[in-house]
A and B are shown apart, each in its own frame.
Chain A
């Protein structure tokens, strides 16, 4: 029965830990019952090919495991319309800014085609960065919240009026931190660390290699704060992987990290330009201006997200306290 064992092992790996033994035991019994039936009919033990045919009817291990769980979304139907709205806003804003920058480059630059090309290339990277950021934010929102569903007893007019209101959003019950979420967070922190320490020279690849631009001194000044946030984030995620049930500690650390990010965004915003020219009167001035505007927009977004994260964590604690207090 090596084939059956392999099949059940593959299914087991894909099931939630709490129910996997139970489900796999039941599946094993179901398949063995069918094998015994075949044996009675044919008067011999079924061949591997016949066992494979039985398993084929159950489906691929991924399909079988998926049937036992609720539908899983990266961004679910509850928040998807808002996600699409923000993607359109970002895409529209960046495209408009790019068109202005490209038009300015075409009129003023010595090498218009080259300048337009550079502006478009930088714009594509900025769009990609912002879309990734917005997607991550909405994935987090999806993980943290559960929209209150439709109720037959509610007035339809109230539901239409209030469905997307913030007071309809409730934190999902949480008894442990998802390990996969912590692993994703850890990967993100490692990536950020490698980027900041220039092990991955992304800035040089995309910006500083061919353009007379460099980061403003503020980035050097905030490096200790950035490193503290990155290391703090890494430690938090590692602890979450090791002790997923330490929910309050995780949320407390996440709140502190959000405060750190808010401080970082505020300080960088107060400093003025984020990117400066290394050569005066260069045609890249328009691009530098555009990058600064987009950088400030990203920092404002970071500040707003951090504040929302802080508020949401406190909200979650208040709701949990109410649930514990109210019998």
Chain B
């Protein structure tokens, strides 16, 4: 398999996970840059070109709320989960656990075949 094909499949795989990771991290308030660093510190790299549009999209869907505040002598936009976002995150995490369990069973089966 070519590396570009792997990259494309990897991107597809990560897309949904990133949404859950960002929402989970925003149970506490962050601005974009600290959010990125927090995610990286937990082993999940996300580039800026993906993160900022994702934040705006989630906000426009009512899952996040944001406000501009001054910190370190500069205006920064702080994001956090909205009440609706908390409900959706809970459901997404439950779904994620279910998928994870299924994948462990499926991948375990395919490993023995391989």
Alpha-carbon gap, A26 to B33, bound state (A): 10
Interface residues on chain A, size class: 10 to 19
Would you call A64 an interface residue if the criterion is a C-beta within 8 Å of the partner chain's C-beta atoms?
Answer: yes
Residues of A contacting B77 in the complex (Cβ-Cβ under 8 angstroms): 25-26, 29
In the complex, per-residue mask of B64-77: 1 if CB is within 8 Å of any chain A CB, else 0: 00001000001111
Contact A29 B49 (CB under 8 A): no
**How many interface contacts (CB-CB < 8 Å) are there between A and B?**
37
Alpha-carbon gap, A34 to B34, bound state (A): 10
Contact A30 B74 (CB under 8 A): no
Contact A27 B33 (CB under 8 A): no
- On chain B, the number of residues with a Cβ less than 8 Å from chain A's Cβ atoms is 15
Contact B75 A25 (CB under 8 A): yes
Of the candidates B48, B56, B68, the one whose C-beta lies within 8 Å of that of A58 is B48
Would you call B47 an interface residue if the criterion is a C-beta within 8 Å of the partner chain's C-beta atoms?
Answer: yes
Alpha-carbon gap, A32 to B71, bound state (A): 13
Contact residues of A: prevailing secondary structure: helix
Contact A26 B52 (CB under 8 A): yes
B34 closest partner in A (C-beta)? A33
Contact B75 A27 (CB under 8 A): no
Contact B48 A29 (CB under 8 A): no
A209 to B: closest C-beta gap in Å: 52
A66 closest partner in B (C-beta)? B53
B112 to A: closest C-beta gap in Å: 36
User: Which residues of B4-63 are within 8 A (CB) of A?
Assistant: 31-33, 47-50, 52-53, 56
Q: Say whether, besides A29-B75, A29-B77, A32-B74, A67 and B33 are in contact (CB < 8 Å).
A: no
Contact A30 B49 (CB under 8 A): no
B65 to A: closest C-beta gap in Å: 14
- Could you tell me which A residues sit within 8 Å of B by CB distance? 23, 25-27, 29-30, 32-34, 57-59, 63-64, 67-68
Query: Other CB < 8 Å A-B pairs besides A25-B77, A26-B77, 8 of them?
Result: A25-B68, A26-B32, A29-B32, A29-B74, A29-B76, A30-B52, A57-B48, A68-B56
